[in-house]
Amino acid sequence: MKPCNIFQLQRLSVNDGEGIRTTVFFKGCALRCQWCANPESWSFDPQVMFFPHKCTGCGNCLTACRHDANVRNSKGEINFVSANCVDCGACRGVCPADARQEMGEGMTIAEVIAQLKKDYIFYQESGGGVTFSGGEPFLHPEYLRQLNEACHRIGINTAVESCAYFDFEACRDIVESIDQIFFDIKIMDSARHKQYTGVDNSRILANIEAASKINNNIIIRVPVITGVNDSTENMLALSKFLLEKTTITRVELLPYHELGLEKMTALGLPAVVFETPSEAKMEELKQLLREQGIEIISFR
Ligand code: SF4
Ligand code: SF4
């Protein structure tokens, strides 16, 4: 099995499922959510990120880069022209300030398992395990299948965080055997979904409906963003879909946060600022869903 590009392995995580977990972040996603907290996951390939606040302006990268991906602006600051970057890595080798960081490296299944084994005792004592995240883990079906099986062989509980946009038939057996699934549903209106994420939601809803028939441990996550999906209409459409089309009754609402903004800039992508909903608004939406028969859960 070829290595898969992983951009982070986060140990001792308590927000990504039951107990203490290690979260494995896969590279590659089909969606382009404007509020994404992990835009470094979008590309399947390793990428250089540039963090301007660390840059001392020494200019080493200007000399090292043969692809005009770095320019000094009229204020003397370095700007990253990511469209020109071919990820050769030359700038990283000469940067004295760690302002250039490589996101993503190929890891074999044996290498991931070796990392997971370090925290085996925490999983056992807390009821935790590993959570596959990203990016979209189901876009790497053979690797995910073998990694999930390897975890199960040594008694590690598995969970996956997914945007639900993948080839369902290619992943049916993984959906069935993984211990817990968190599926995102961003927006119920398909046209608005496409406007904000780049794809319509028909495949996502169909996959969630199909998955609920073969895995009974699924939780829906909704990143709540003011003016995008925090309407009564959207929440009622969500509960109607879940109750009429699926066997899923548990939802976690997560307020939008700005953690992805710096990463967007570091990747040379346009950063769009959204508004975080108030605590009162979050409570109102939770209550609305509870009244429809939805159980609200939280891992935060
Ligand atoms: S990684 Fe990109 S920015 Fe850095 S030297 Fe290579 S092409 Fe230039
Ligand atoms: S080498 Fe690093 S510190 Fe020097 S100008 Fe480039 S990014 Fe900034």
Question: Model confidence over 254-295: pLDDT tens digits?
Answer: 999 998 999 999 998 889 999 999 999 999 999 999 999 999
Say yes or no: 180 and 236 in one domain.
yes
- What's the confidence (pLDDT) of residue 299? 83
Number of domains in the chain: 2
Residues 148 and 239 in one domain: yes
What's the mean per-residue pLDDT of the chain?
A: 96
Could you tell me if 64 and 93 are in contact, meaning their C-beta atoms sit under 8 angstroms apart?
yes
Q: Of 231, 255, 228, 252, whose CA–CA distance to 242 is shortest?
A: 252
Estimate the crossing angle of helix 168-177 against helix 202-212, to 10 degrees: 40
Cα–ligand 1 centroid distance for 182 (angstroms): 36
Ligand 1 center to residue 78 CA distance, Å?
13
Together in a domain, 80 and 225: no
* 25 & 54 share domain: no
Residue 112 shares a structural domain with residue 260 = yes
Compute the distance between CA of residue 271 and CA of residue 265 in angstroms, rounded to an integer: 6
Read off the pLDDT of residues 123-160 as tens digits, 9 standing for 90 and up: 999 999 999 999 999 999 999 999 999 999 999 999 99
- The domain boundary, picked from 62, 82, 102, lies at 102
Residue from 54, 58, 77, 92 whose mutation best tests the ligand 2 pocket (most atoms within 8 A of CB): 58
What CATH number did the domain enclosing 258 receive? 3.20.20.70
- Residue 88 CA to ligand 1 centre (angstroms): 5
Structural domain of 189: 4-43+104-296
Q: Domain check: are 236 and 207 in the same one?
A: yes
Question: Are both 212 and 262 inside the same structural domain?
Answer: yes
